[in-house]
Amino acid sequence: MENINLTTEPWEDYELLDSGDNRKLERYGSAILIRPETQAIWRRKQPDLWSKAVAEFIWSDGKGAWHKKDRIAEKWALKWRDVSFSVRLTSFKHTGLFPEQAPNWEWIDKSIRTKDKPNVLNLFGYTGLASIVAAKAGATVTHLDASRQSNSWAKENAIASDVTKGIRYILDDAMKFVKREGRRGVSYDGVILDPPAFGRGPKGEVWRIEEDLPKLMDDLKVIFSHKPGSFLLLNGYAAGYTPLSFEQLIDSCFGSSTGEFGELRLKETDSSRSISEGIYVRLVRN
């Protein structure tokens, strides 16, 4: 596999304006937000811009909360190409959008358009943007998340994107679901997964990435299609692993295939600087 770092450039509804002092300044549509960023140990380049933020997420005494400096809507609409979705200020600094995934959305779209209605599984699907991209490209998508709230949000985003068919939503534990699909003999031509470092299933099942990701990969081998061109995309955040760790995990489970691995980066507007936000591995069956 090739080691390639993927960088997201600003687009009409999102840009990374500046970063530094362990924070980042981002524009989501017309709203400018400040969020923590442990990677940004450098100094800010444009300190005057930061006063334009309408809200900031601040950690204090082990707890985090949004401090609103101006009136801001509960949720507001954004777009990426022909995908429409809403963002909002969640209780753990996120907005429902991970903009560094844009290069992966492009790759998913291209991977699917060369196939005839592939069957795609999106595990830990969150607000569903990857599911929407896949469905719009012609896939039949199974979107799974352990959070009822996330699945509802994903459905809202799909409706906003005019995707009313092609996605089924599953509220379940990822490990249990994949095992059941294996017993049923189900096969997927594409698998997308974005596992957290730690999480819980809908019935309190505990997920620990260091213990459970290798097990999940073994189970995915059973349901991942052997047809040439079948694809797998693994993303990772906040788990302390390097891209090489993920690549070698994939290689040990699926053997040699074509693909890429590396960092997911966000580029600042009008600057050469970027922030490493996560890691990824893409695999394509030979």
- Host domain of residue 165: 94-284
Q: What is the CATH number of the domain that holds 262?
A: 3.40.50.150
Torsion of CA 116, 127, 107, 188, to 10 degrees: -40
Q: Both 127 and 228 in a single domain? A: yes
97-144 pLDDT, tens per residue? Answer: 999 999 999 999 999 998 899 999 999 999 999 999 999 999 999 999
Q: Both 19 and 65 in a single domain? A: yes
257 pLDDT above the threshold of 80: no
Q: Both 171 and 210 in a single domain? A: yes
Residue 220 in any domain: the answer is yes
Output the pTM of the full model.
0.96
Q: Both 264 and 149 in a single domain? A: yes
Residue 59 in any domain: the answer is yes
65-89 pLDDT, tens per residue? Answer: 999 998 899 999 999 999 999 999 9
C-beta separation of 85 from 96 below 8 A: yes
156-188 pLDDT, tens per residue? Answer: 999 999 999 999 999 999 999 999 999 999 999
Which of 78, 105, 131 is where one domain is finished? 78
C-beta separation of 135 from 119 below 8 A: no
Q: Both 117 and 232 in a single domain? A: yes
Residue 7 to residues 40, 279, 283: CA-CA distances in angstroms? 16, 11, 19
How many domains does the structure of the chain reveal? 2
